[in-house]
Amino acid sequence: MKKFNLISTLFIAIVCLTIACKKDKGTNEGMVQSAKDFTAKFGAQLQTLQINASALPQTVTLAGGTKINFPAGSLTKGGVAVTGTVTVEAYEVLKRSTVLFTGANTNHASGAPLASDGFIFVDVKSNGSSVDQNLAVPVKIAIPAKREGATQLWVGVDQNDKPLVAAGNNQMAWQAPRPQANGVGQKEVNATNSTFTFDFGTLGWINCDVFYSYANPKTTITVEVNNNPGTFASFHAFSGETYVFFCAKGSNVAAQLYTPGGTNKVKSYDNMMPIGVQGRMLSFSIKDGRFYYASQEVTISAGQNVVLTLAETTEAAVQAAINSLDSY
């Protein structure tokens, strides 16, 4: 009797373990259960470095090659100079795929699409809390340049033109920076020695982008997402599960569509999409450990309505589709 109970117990344990493994394999790839998990896993990763605020100037170099120089007098908290060891926290978003993986976009605050030359996030913490975002003396930033010519400078804001944070239904957009601390506003920077180098008087999201320049007439387009398992996502998937993007062919544009346009519909900003431009309209969604994707090659036309039908797929397939945009 004891022998039978032991064998039965082992058999039941093995069966339960097998079922659990099959369940995990089918519904939980790498513990990604939501769009927010997805952006955390594949998006820009937090980089932390320490410097001595009592011995400025000091320069930090991020993993993607971005350099940030903190000059003497730049760091204050409540207007008082910061001293001692501080922690620099940063993200780099230097490729189109990273824009999507991070749940960000290249939307100007006006709704006009921007073509990205790369953007970063910078925060400095002293004793666990952030220093003043508006710097007493501008930092000098050098972002790797992948092309010749000029770029323009922007700061990340939410839909209320306030500094962008991952909270509520906040959406990312970019607007012109405030004038620098020395009163000189720098809006355009030329590539020199394969970098865009500039002074910047504000911490937070900092962007090098140019307007997606087309003389074509502009229009408003809508995208209907069929089989949508969730709601449309906000910045960094702080809320929602489903993203919709237009990625222009041959230009580093990742324009997110998130303005409600009807049931399971989103629309572009009014009269901001250039007619005749080619690109890829795509949507991806992650909910309850399941992955969905749809895309369509499009040429923007007046008043266009694009229908995307999400189909269940794998984490790896969504990742590969987004990575392919770097050479699109």
Q: Which of 211, 242, 265 is the last residue of a domain?
A: 211
For residues 184 and 239, membership in a common domain is answered with: no
Give the domain-ending residue among 160, 179, 211. Answer: 211
Tell me the C-alpha distance between 247 and 115, whole Å.
10
Same domain, 199 and 105: yes
Q: Are residues 193 and 145 in the same domain?
A: yes
Question: Do 161 and 281 belong to one domain?
Answer: no
Tokens of 121: 């996030």
Is the same domain home to 222 and 207? Answer: no
Same domain, 205 and 235: no
Which residues are registered as beta bridge partners of 141? 68, 198
Q: Are residues 182 and 289 in the same domain?
A: no
Q: Is the pLDDT of residue 181 over 90?
A: no
pLDDT band at residue 180 under the 50/70/90 scheme: low
193 and 269 belong to one structural domain:
no
Q: For the chain, what is the mean pLDDT?
A: 90
What's the confidence (pLDDT) of residue 185? 62
Mean pLDDT of 146-150: 95
- Is the pLDDT higher at 17 or at 35? 35
266 CB-side CA count, 13 A: 23
Q: Where is the domain boundary, 211, 226, 246?
A: 211
Same domain (yes/no): 185, 302: no
Residue at 171 is within a domain? yes
Is residue 138 scored above 60 in pLDDT? Answer: yes
For residue 65, the model assigns a pLDDT of: 98
**Euclidean distance between the first and the last CA atom of the chain, given in angstroms as a whole number:** 68
Same domain flag for 96 and 225: no
CA torsion angle 108 102 155 261 (round to 10): 30
pLDDT score for 124: 98
Distances (CA, A) of 191 to 114, 118, 147, 311, 326: 18, 13, 7, 42, 21
Q: Say which CATH number the domain at 173 has.
A: 2.60.220
| Total domain count, the chain | 2
Say if CB 131 and CB 202 are below 8 A apart: no
Percent of the chain whose predicted confidence (pLDDT) is above 90? 81
Rg, Å, the chain Cα set: 23
Give the structural domain span for 240: 218-327
Same domain, residue pair 175 and 226: no
Which CATH number does the domain housing residue 222 bear?
A: 2.60.40
Same domain? For 296 and 191 the reply is: no
